[in-house]
Amino acid sequence: MVDHRLGEDYEQLRDSVRAFARKEVAPVIGGYYEREEFPDPLVDGMGRMGLFGLPIPEEFGGMGGDYFALCLALEELARVDSSVAITVEAGVSLGTMPLYRFGTREQRERWLPGLTSGGVLGAFGLTEPGGGSDAGATRTTAVLDGDEWVINGSKAFITNSGTDRTGFVTVTAVTGSKPDGGKEISTILVPSGTPGFQVAPKYSKVGWNASDTHGLTFDDCRVPAENLIGARGRGYAQFLSILTEGRVAIAALGVGLAQGCVDECLRYAGEREAFGKTLGQYQAIQFKIADMEMRAHTARLAYYDAASRMLRDEPYTRQAVIAKLASSNAAMDNARDATQIFGGYGFMNETPVGRFYRDAKILEIGEGTSEVQRMLIARELGLPG
């Protein structure tokens, strides 16, 4: 029989992250959010807990867990705040995993111990100002000049790219042409501080205000030839693999936000009075919260299914896409309903619900828009592309 109950190790992890989120993150995150400040002390705390190394083997400083463990942690963090959750999600899924999956032994030994401790963050430079969802439209170039790559181009909306602990950005770049005339795209690691590599001022964002996001430029930026990650010309394929994993992780984050909306509404409905009754006594509010719980629950089952298939080395692309789409829908719908239940207080950034509403929208855009997810599901079903 199918059994969705968690094992003891997973339960303990979930409980410890939940306690950290409620005791350490919840009391202070509003201030960081308002100041648009990266929460270094919280990142240090998550590093000490081992969250940045959850799916990485112990030989590289990781916790020796799996990707599902990472997803559980992300869900619990996002129940309280998405900025800290996306810092971990991007740090692991987009910063660490390309190096772990495709890097050389030397690259792993150099970078992974710092990444798994949270003392170093890696970023993934994929999106470009004119690219968006069309990653194949990459214009950044890397030309091999002797024993160095010379990189020119720009990237946009790159998470964890400008913090004091950012160690490198892994950049996708056109390194030549394929036999069929298409672009040969490769992935190259560029350490922070490399001459010619510039980080633009941080964006002024609608949500995720306590996370770090910048544009990047590369102007005759030179790095050693051995900074190539994986095989030359395999950068696009590597990106697709990393993005499929990342969809499961971002789905867990979306479920956390959706469940956080339920948590806040249950509390508020029991406290707030209107016309002589608490809000929770009105059937209209009960039905709205019931629908919110339904959305969070079904989206959770979707990412559990995708993660379990991943861990069994079974095909899971369709399930990952469904999980990402379902969770982003649940997050956005729940955030809207929660804001309505809270009324004027839901429109205030000082409340978690106000922040949830701002944070939810990006889940329908980042790591693959909802339109792209639907397109991929249709392709998986055999419909013409």
Catalytic residue set: 367
Instruction: Please count the CA atoms within 13 angstroms of the CA of 338 that sit on its side-chain side.
Output: 32
Q: What are phi and psi of 156, to 5 degrees?
A: -135, 150
Token pair of 76 as six digits: 């619990």
SS3 of 122, please?
strand
Q: What are phi and psi of 170, to 5 degrees?
A: -90, 120
Q: Which DSSP letter does residue 209 get? A: T
Token pair of 235 as six digits: 């950068």
Token pair of 293 as six digits: 């719980």
Question: Helix H segments across 159-220?
Answer: none
Place of tokens 């719980």: 293
Question: Helix H segments across the chain?
Answer: 8-20, 29-35, 40-49, 67-78, 82-89, 97-102, 105-117, 235-271, 283-311, 317-342, 352-360, 370-380
Q: Which DSSP letter does residue 205 get? A: -
DSSP 123-149: EEE---TTTTT-GGG---EEEEETTEE
Q: Phi/psi zone of residue 65: left (φ > 0), alpha (ψ -120 to 50 degrees), beta? A: beta
The one-letter amino acid code at 83 reads S
The one-letter amino acid code at 353 reads V
Task: For residues 213 and 108, give the distance between their C-alpha atoms in angstroms, rounded to a whole number.
Answer: 25
CA-based nearest residue to 93, from 321, 367, 329, 293: 367
Task: For residues 216 and 171, give the distance between their C-alpha atoms in angstroms, rounded to a whole number.
Answer: 10
